[in-house]
Structure formats: structure tokens, C-alpha cells
Amino acid sequence: MTDAPRLAARPVSAAPGSTPVRRSLSRRATGLVVIAVLLALTILLSLAVGNKYIPLPEVWTALVNPGDGYAQTVVDSRIPRTILGLIVGAGLAVAGAVMQGLTRNPLGDPGLFGVNAGAAAAVVTATAFLGLGSGNRVWVALPGAFLAVAVVYVIGAGAGRSSPIRLVLAGVVVTAVLAAWGSAVTLSLPGVFDSYRYWAVGSLAGRDPQAIADVLPFIGVGLVIALGLAGPLNALALGDDLAQTLGVKVGRTRLLGALATTLLCAAATAAVGPVGFVGLAVPHVVRSVTGSDHRWLLPYCLLAGPVLLLGADVLGRVIVSPAELMVGIITAFVGAPILLLAVRRMKVPE
């Protein structure tokens, strides 16, 4: 590997070790600490808030000095939900950042390659025709997502080399077809619709704790691959030709990026259902602090994704208490305004 990451990320006007560079690094490091603190607070709130509120000091005591009281029982029951929110939020946000880097589109979404649609269509099909149970979704969602991505790559590549625009257009087509198939199956079979609808909206509530063990290896591998692509993604932002000049293997980078995105999104979708806007909103907001340097963008997303997802989950428990709003609904309400503001701020070439 060459020095492409450093060349792509370093400001042209600032020499190494100069005051502007040191200030930028200090600002980014401080922001990372702030997000880590916010994440810790969000975790505590996720353990405290629900039908029965547990004061934060009691939550802390239950974590550091476990006992047998009522507060301990409630906190223990919420730990799997919180862990699931942590790993799913991190996976979706990092997948979004990788997808935006691969397509060179700051408004790119992990679903652009048909990952979410492929996973959902596979779950619908297996539920309708194979009697799939909720505990086995990850083993169906992953092949469905990989198959959808493979179809997108075949269509996007065509007779020659794939390009970001061709891949995005192919992803839109494949997603539309798979979404239509899912709707046709669920509307035709009411029994499938009843078992599928709660999963389809996206929720952390009522998930089998075994889902954590099922999806954690896939999300872990996806995160490792994604974080290892920080440098090549920086070079890829300069364009395919220049990236190749800097020694980056463009095809390999896109393949690994697609693999990481597929693992992250398929595992997250299998665990909690399709949750939208996390992969879109988090990288876009984080980029206002980190810029386009993926060496900072990806770690920020790793922490900020769970903050958004767990925060949305806590909000869903509060606003209609004692009932709950599914987290997929809350993230849509939060993410849609962010998308609108992002589109309004984009510079359209004349």
C-alpha cells in the first residue's frame, strides 16, 4: 500500500506540523471525546428509561455492583436491547460512510446497493414459503443481501468497468423490484404480513437476545474491513484515475467496500429489521466536523451511530408512554429533515 491516505487527506495549503493542522487535529480529537461521553450517557438512559424509570444512580450501581433488587432486574432486562442498539447503530453508520465514499455521493445510503431490500426480500420469502422463525433470520438475510449486491454489480458493470453512477442506478432498479416482491407476498398472505410487519418497521424491542450472538461476528468482520479501507477511500475521493496513480486498487477497494457494507447492513437488518436514515444522516452530520478524511470519519460514525439509534429508541419509549414507537419510525422523523437540509445546502452545477 502506498502513501495515498496521507496524500488524499492532507490539506494542500498546510505543511505537516503547522498550527492549522494541529488545531484541526485537536478539534477532531476533542469532538471524538465528546461523542464518546454522549454515547456513555445514551447507554445509561437506554438502561434507565422505559415503562418503569430507574434513576441513573441506581442504574450505575446495578452495573458496577450487581445485586438482587428490583432495579437490578429491570436493568438486566434492558441490557440486551441496549447492546443490540450499540452494534446495529455502529454498523449502519459505518456502512453509510463507506457507501458514500465508494459512490462519491455525500447523500449515499447503504441501501443503494440493494442490501436492505435483498435481506428483507429473503426474510419475506422464507417466512412465507419455508415457515422461517424469528431466531433464524440472520442466516436467511445474509444470503439475500449478498445475492442482491451480486446482481447489482453484474448489472452495474455491464460489458465494461463499473462506475459509481451505474452501480447506483442498478441498485435503485434491484431495490424497486425486491420491494415490489416483498409487498406482493405480504399483501397476498395475511399470516406472513402479521409476523413480518413488526420486524419490517425496525425495532429494538422484543428481539431475541440470541440475535446479538448471531449478528455480532458479521458486524465485527464488517467493521474491521471498513476501518481498514479508510486510506483507499480517501484516495478514491480524488477519482479512479488519480487513485490508481497513487497505487490504490480501485476494483479491490470497491469489492471490499461492498463486502463490508453487505455484512454490516444485512446483519443489522436481520437483527432489528430495516432501519432507515442512520446510514445517511450520521455520516453527513459527522462530516461537518471531520471533513472527508475517512481516518476520522469512520471512527466518529462508529460512536455517533449508536448515539442516534439508542437516542431514537429512548425517545420512542417516552413520547407515547406507556406504549412505544418503533425506532425505525423515530429515525425516519429525525433523518428526513437532515436529508432535506443536506439537499438544500448542496451546490448544483449550472
For the chain (350 residues), the mean pLDDT of every run of 10, in chain order, is 44 48 76 93 93 89 86 90 94 92 78 81 84 70 85 73 72 88 82 69 80 90 94 86 83 88 87 84 87 91 94 90 84 77 58
Residue 276 covered by a domain: yes
Count the Cβ atoms, other than its own, within 10 Å of residue 267: 30
Contact 205, 326 (CB under 8 A): yes
Residue 252 covered by a domain: yes
Cβ contacts of 144 within 8 Å, gap of 6 or more: 118, 119, 120, 121, 122, 123, 125, 266
Residue 310 covered by a domain: no
pLDDT at position 244? 83
Single-letter amino acid, residue 281: A
Residues 52 and 125 in one domain: no
Residue 263: give the domain boundaries: 94-284
Residue 133 covered by a domain: yes
Residue 312 covered by a domain: no
Residues 40 and 146 in one domain: no
| Residue that is last in its domain, among 251, 269, 284 | 284
Contact 152, 162 (CB under 8 A): no
Residues 113 and 236 in one domain: yes
pLDDT at position 295? 92
**Domain count within the chain:** 2
Cβ contacts of 231 within 8 Å, gap of 6 or more: 1, 4, 5, 6, 8, 294, 295
Task: Read off the DSSP letter of residue 10.
Answer: S
Contact 274, 120 (CB under 8 A): yes
Single-letter amino acid, residue 224: V
Residue 308 CA to residue 314 CA, distance in Å, equals: 10
Residue 249 CA to residue 271 CA, distance in Å, equals: 33
Q: What sign for the dihedral angle of Cα 146, 148, 149, 155? A: positive
Contact 54, 47 (CB under 8 A): yes
| Residue that is last in its domain, among 232, 262, 284 | 284
Residue 102 CA to residue 253 CA, distance in Å, equals: 8
Residue linked to cell 457494507: 261
Residue 119 covered by a domain: yes
Contact 269, 116 (CB under 8 A): yes
| Residue that is last in its domain, among 284, 314, 333 | 284
Length of the chain equals 350
Residue in 278, 331, 267 with CA at minimum distance from that of residue 304:
278
C-alpha cell at 44: 445509561
pTM: 0.84
Residue 206 covered by a domain: yes
Residue 35 CA to residue 310 CA, distance in Å, equals: 13
pLDDT at position 182? 84
Contact 87, 218 (CB under 8 A): no
Single-letter amino acid, residue 31: G
pLDDT at position 23? 60
pLDDT at position 14? 46
Distances (CA, A) of 30 to 23, 24, 37, 86, 174: 10, 10, 11, 21, 41
pLDDT at position 337? 78
Residue 267 covered by a domain: yes
What is the separation of C-alpha 40 from the centre of its chain, rounded to a whole number of angstroms?
Answer: 19
CATH number for the domain that contains residue 175: 1.10.3470.10
